Chain A
Amino acid sequence: MSSNETAPTNYLNADYGVRSWLFTVDHKRIAILYLIAVTFFFALGGLMAVLIRLELATPAGDLVQADVYNRLFTMHGVLMIFFFLIPAIPGVLGNFLIPIMIGAKDMAFPKVNLASWYVYMAGGLFAAWSMLHGGVDTGWTFYTPFSTAFSNTYVISTAIGGFLAGFSSILTGLNFIVTVHRMRAPGLTWFRLPLFVWSLYATAIVQILATPVLAITLVLLIAERAFRIGIFDPALGGDPVLFQHLFWFYSHPAVYIMILPAFGVISELVSAFARKRIFGYRVVAAASVSIAVLGFLVWGHHMFVSSQSPYAGVIFSLLSMLVAVPSAVKVFNWTATLYEGSVSWETPMLYALGFIGLFTIGGLTGVMLATMGIDIHVHDTYFVVAHFHYVMVGAVLMAYLGGLHFWWPKITGRMYPIFWSKISALLVFVGFNLTFFPQFLLGYLGMPRRYHAYPDEFQVLNVLSSAGATVLGVGYLIPLVYFFWSMRYGKRAGDNPWDAFGLEWETTSPPPTFNFPATPKVTLEAYDYTGRAEARLARTQPVRSSP
């Protein structure tokens, strides 16, 4: 009761009822819709992971049959990639923050924004329908000719789900690009934009240029499976390696659709909790764009053992290593930002520091895998599984959670319990490493991925991994509980609980429907903590009569 009498009108209490949410065009409410949806799909994909780790606790294939196991890891991959990792940071944090960070009232196309959520949900419906009818067993990569000629599971409906999720991603990217071009507040030049905006802009380029190729590839796949039109199946005159070219032309850049927004989040967190402008701001911004572009030239590193020409392999290998340069620039610049900063150990910062460490491991093992000689040795082993989980979970998920913890007070106006949030950040970090580090060793020792049984000598490392997954699971459950709890019982957060720099901290928490009472004017560079302090000082001191 005391909570309502003081709460000014904001986007949450501006209107009530299910209709006001399902027909909203407010970017902040759409972000909440995305938050609910991606959390649901993450839980579903997580459930599959639980069953996978449970099966792998013992060498014998005793919990599930081989064909059930195939469906489990396929649906785990499809749900986590198409329905969680790709939409999570852009859909939730991007939708909520981009208009506020650039001082705009909303996205350039609010209705398209809402449509993107519905298209995404339609895709989710197809995926869920396929799962309920028995799932799909091709792996999330849908490799031909198995997927078009042999699998007797729900390939087409799952592919339609991925197709729709892709279109949702295109709509989101389109909206971000137009919004950043057309709706920046006066004074907010390109090189004054927060790095989160830069990274989502770079992401949007990838979303728009890569995702149509996924759509086309899935349509070709459906055409061959449903109508026997020969494209990939050698029996019909097709080429199965062509599928891999088309698929990875999207799916490698898709890695950057997932990781670039995470980079953006980390730049915001590191700067906020080191109280410093990001070291080499322009270079970090440019690195996002160059990763986005370079990411398109490397897809063949997934195909070193596919009968792809070794000459093409060498080119792809070299180009892949090139991506490490702008990625390393980011890691070094975040680290350099910490130097002589006043670093504080708030929960979001714990996630950010965890990110830097885990991404470094994930990235460096990526360079190892880009080396053809090593890749041929560990191809399709747990080494690869560990590598991409360090990037997808260790980096992207850590950044997403760090971002949620950072902006939660802005989104809900409430603070979560600090103690529990630090405990869970620690559990996630420890649990993650315990789950996935043993998988590097397993892969190096030769354990292949995608089998439900394995030789006895791999059991110790597998048990460690499964135990780690339990810790990780608890680490994810705790935030779920206290975020819910905080919405009702959390302390009021205030407009700028971290005393951070940025337009989003200059409006109220939660923000009003159109974000600002009046369009803000930007006079400072991004993260200009010194400039802000001087401006504050000037405001509190009496005006001197003459210089």
Chain B
Amino acid sequence: MSERHHVTGLAVYLAVFLALMVFTAVTVWASFVHLGPFNDLVAMAIAFTKATLVVLFFMQVRHASRMAKITVVAGFLWLAILFGITLTDYFSRGFLG
């Protein structure tokens, strides 16, 4: 029973919430640091980390069944397909000059 039914304590939720707040602050701070094209990369990396925290802890995927995990991964994989292949168009438009 205890194996299948995991109850996440309030402390964990608060810790995750705190982490999300810290990352938000870091995003704001990083936007003022001049990194050229890496500004976008840093912002996206932080956003990705935050989204992962939400999915794993708040949406409780960490303790979900393997099937539910596959479903979540498939969703994000398909999002990556949508973004990735669309970007092949935008990135290669300039190739012809």
Query: A residues bordering B, Cβ < 8 Å?
Result: 181, 209, 213, 241-242, 245-246, 249, 296-297, 299-300, 308-312, 315
Selected from B67, B78, B82, B88, the residue in CB contact (under 8 A) with A312 is: B88
Selected from A209, A246, A309, A311, the residue in CB contact (under 8 A) with B75 is: A209
Name the residue of chain B whose CB is nearest to the CB of A306. B89
Q: Which chain B residues numbered 37 to 87 have a C-beta less than 8 Å away from chain A?
A: 67, 74-75, 78, 81-82, 85-86
Q: Are A245 and B89 in contact (CB under 8 A)?
A: yes
Name the residue of chain A whose CB is nearest to the CB of B90. A309
25 of the cross-chain contacts (CB-CB < 8 Å) are A181-B67, A209-B78, A241-B89, A242-B86, A245-B82, A245-B86, A245-B89, A249-B82, A249-B86, A296-B78, A297-B85, A300-B89, A308-B89, A309-B88, A309-B91, A309-B93, A309-B95, A309-B96, A311-B88, A311-B92, A311-B95, A312-B88, A312-B89, A312-B92, A315-B85
Contacts of B95 in A (CB 8 A): 309, 311
Pairs of residues from A and B, 7 with the lowest C-beta to C-beta distance, nearest first: A311-B92, A312-B89, A309-B92, A309-B93, A245-B86, A312-B88, A209-B78
Contacts of A297 in B (CB 8 A): 81, 85
A181-B67, A309-B93 are contacts. A315–B81 as well, Cβ < 8 Å?
no
Q: Tell me, in angstroms, the Cα distance from A246 to B95 when the chains sit together.
A: 23
Query: Most B CB atoms within 10 A — which of A181, A300, A309?
Result: A309
Further pairs besides A300-B89, A312-B89: 12, Cβ < 8 Å: A209-B75, A209-B78, A245-B86, A246-B82, A249-B86, A297-B81, A309-B89, A309-B93, A309-B96, A312-B88, A315-B85, A315-B88
Q: Are A213 and B88 in contact (CB under 8 A)?
A: no
Query: B residues bordering A, Cβ < 8 Å?
Result: 67, 74-75, 78, 81-82, 85-86, 88-93, 95-96
Name the residue of chain B whose CB is nearest to the CB of A209. B78
Q: A429: shortest Cβ distance to chain B, in Å?
A: 38
Name the residue of chain B whose CB is nearest to the CB of A245. B86
Where chain A touches its partner, the secondary structure class is helix
Q: A202: shortest Cβ distance to chain B, in Å?
A: 13
Selected from A246, A296, A310, A312, the residue in CB contact (under 8 A) with B81 is: A296
Contacts of A310 in B (CB 8 A): 96
Q: B8: shortest Cβ distance to chain A, in Å?
A: 25
Q: Tell me, in angstroms, the Cα distance from A297 to B92 when the chains sit together.
A: 17
Contacts of A311 in B (CB 8 A): 88, 92, 95
Selected from B74, B78, B85, B91, the residue in CB contact (under 8 A) with A300 is: B85
Q: Tell me, in angstroms, the Cα distance from A520 to B7 when the chains sit together.
A: 39
Name the residue of chain A whose CB is nearest to the CB of B87. A312
Q: B60: shortest Cβ distance to chain A, in Å?
A: 19
Name the residue of chain B whose CB is nearest to the CB of A312. B89
Contacts of A245 in B (CB 8 A): 82, 86, 89
Contacts of A312 in B (CB 8 A): 85, 88-89, 92
Q: Tell me, in angstroms, the Cα distance from A242 to B82 when the chains sit together.
A: 11
Q: Are A213 and B82 in contact (CB under 8 A)?
A: yes
Q: Tell me, in angstroms, the Cα distance from A300 to B90 when the chains sit together.
A: 12
A296-B81, A309-B95, A310-B96 are contacts. A209–B74 as well, Cβ < 8 Å?
yes
Q: Tell me, in angstroms, the Cα distance from A296 to B83 when the chains sit together.
A: 12
Q: Tell me, in angstroms, the Cα distance from A315 to B95 when the chains sit together.
A: 15
Name the residue of chain B whose CB is nearest to the CB of A249. B82
Name the residue of chain B whose CB is nearest to the CB of A253. B78
Q: Tell me, in angstroms, the Cα distance from A172 to B39 when the chains sit together.
A: 42
Q: Tell me, in angstroms, the Cα distance from A429 to B29 when the chains sit together.
A: 67
Q: A344: shortest Cβ distance to chain B, in Å?
A: 42
Contacts of B82 in A (CB 8 A): 213, 245-246, 249
Q: B71: shortest Cβ distance to chain A, in Å?
A: 8
Q: Tell me, in angstroms, the Cα distance from A310 to B89 when the chains sit together.
A: 8
Q: A300: shortest Cβ distance to chain B, in Å?
A: 7
Q: Tell me, in angstroms, the Cα distance from A296 to B67 when the chains sit together.
A: 21
Q: B76: shortest Cβ distance to chain A, in Å?
A: 11
Q: Tell me, in angstroms, the Cα distance from A241 to B87 when the chains sit together.
A: 12
Name the residue of chain A whose CB is nearest to the CB of B85. A297
Contacts of B96 in A (CB 8 A): 309-310
Q: Tell me, in angstroms, the Cα distance from A310 to B92 when the chains sit together.
A: 8
Contacts of B90 in A (CB 8 A): 309
Name the residue of chain A whose CB is nearest to the CB of B93. A309
Q: A250: shortest Cβ distance to chain B, in Å?
A: 10
Q: Tell me, in angstroms, the Cα distance from A209 to B72 when the chains sit together.
A: 11
Q: Tell me, in angstroms, the Cα distance from A308 to B92 when the chains sit together.
A: 9
